[in-house]
Amino acid sequence: MEKGVILIAGISLFLMLLFLVGVGPVITGNVIKNPSEVSLADFPYPFIKNNAYNQLTIVVPENPSKEEAQAALAIADIVRQSRDFNPPILSVKKDTHKGNRILVGMPCKNPEMQKKLGTNACDVNLPEAKGMLSLTHEKYGLTLIVTGSDARGLQNAAAVLANADFYPLAGEKILVEGSGKALSLSIEE
């Protein structure tokens, strides 16, 4: 009888450890990926990890337009989900953060975005009403750029991110076009 109890306890301990090491991290969200392996398909990871903000700051231009502010708030709402407060939203001049960032707005108003995209053109060299999501890997974290050729393009890109569960996000760069609920994505690797 004692051997049976010890055998059952041993098997139980083994199964518990197997769960904690193998399956548990996937269920709990405690998955650690090499930053170079992270893509837009992983959103909201790494910005949210273990159901908490993972060194996240949302950055807007110094004097954001109404559309830039709305896009930043829409993104804050989606990453907030069940948390009690939004992540910090800072102007580009007040941003000293060295972690994961989401840059929202037009490159001509954001020097950090200009560096990452290699352009200061307000329209990001995109056709009218086209939005863009671009993920860049940094020394201290990841940066997600949410921009567009104009206000409508920016709103389209933010709408895709705010409804990420309904769009097939992948890769490191996505172009968004269309209007309203009829948005289409072009995934660029």
Query: What gap in Å lies between CA 113 and CA 133, rounded to an integer?
Result: 12
pLDDT at 169 over 60: yes
Q: Which CATH superfamily is domain 35-188 in?
A: Chitobiase/beta-hexosaminidase domain 2-like (3.30.379.10)
pTM of the predicted model as reported, rounded to 2 decimal places? 0.79
Confidence tier at 162 by pLDDT (50, 70, 90):
confident
DSSP state at residue 20: I
Q: What stretch of H or E contains 142?
A: strand 142-148
Confidence tier at 91 by pLDDT (50, 70, 90):
confident
| Per-residue pLDDT at 160 | 92
Residue range 3-28: average pLDDT? 67
Structure tokens at 183: 């948005």
pLDDT at 5 over 80: no
Using one digit for the tens of pLDDT, what is the confidence trace for 20-38? 565 555 555 555 667 778 8
pLDDT at 81 over 60: yes
Judge whether 86 and 50 are in contact, CB under 8 Å. no
For a pLDDT cut of 90, what percent of the chain falls above it? 24
From first CA to last CA, the distance across the chain in angstroms is 61
Confidence tier at 65 by pLDDT (50, 70, 90):
very high
Confidence tier at 97 by pLDDT (50, 70, 90):
low
| Per-residue pLDDT at 11 | 82
| Per-residue pLDDT at 23 | 55
Q: Which of 180, 170, 171, 158 is nearest to 79 (CA)?
A: 158
Ranges of each domain in the chain: 1-31, 35-188
Beta-sheet strands, E only, within 17-172:
48-49, 52-53, 56-60, 89-91, 100-104, 131-137, 142-148
Query: What gap in Å lies between CA 84 and CA 78, rounded to an integer?
Result: 12
